[in-house]
Amino acid sequence: MSYLENTPVNAFVFMSEPRAAARTFRDLLVWQKAHQFVLGVYSFTAAFPKQETYGLSLQMRRAAVSIPANIAEGFRRRGKADKARYMNIAEGSLEECRYYLILSHDLGYGDIDALNVALEETSRLLNAYSAAILTSGS
């Protein structure tokens, strides 16, 4: 079983619930989902063939880690444009992961369904967070 399958449903906070203002990046639902995705990617790539240790496995992990890392870095940026730039970098890394999942599937390296679900959820949240930054008053 993957990490995502072992996560209890109550560990996730749904968007429809009212949320207090985030004090740290760890309070952001989008960061939490991105972090869960990274943990899933690490679990998934651990089963890759040995020849992929410094190939697809490493590339996929680096791209996945870049998503929550850029969300975290952007969280502390002061200007809207600077914050949005980091979210855009995270979105680019997410799309890179989308391709790596397709490639992993096509190479027969495992079932990507749970990771695709996590990636899509992270993508929706990241798009919404980016839009909220750009339309915010400050």
pLDDT in the model for residue 7:
42
23 contacts: CB under 8 Å, gap ≥ 6: none
Q: Which domains does the chain have, with CATH numbers?
A: 23-135 (1.20.1440.60)
Whose tokens are 């929550």? That residue is 68
pTM of the model: 0.84
Report CA-CA distances (Å) from 73 to 24, 79, 102, 120: 11, 13, 28, 22
Q: What tens digit of pLDDT does each residue of 47-57 get? A: 999 999 999 99
Integer Cα distance of 62 and 85 in angstroms: 19
Average pLDDT over residues 70-78: 94
Q: Which residue has the higher pLDDT, 97 or 17?
A: 97
Q: Cβ(97)–Cβ(122) under 8 Å?
A: no
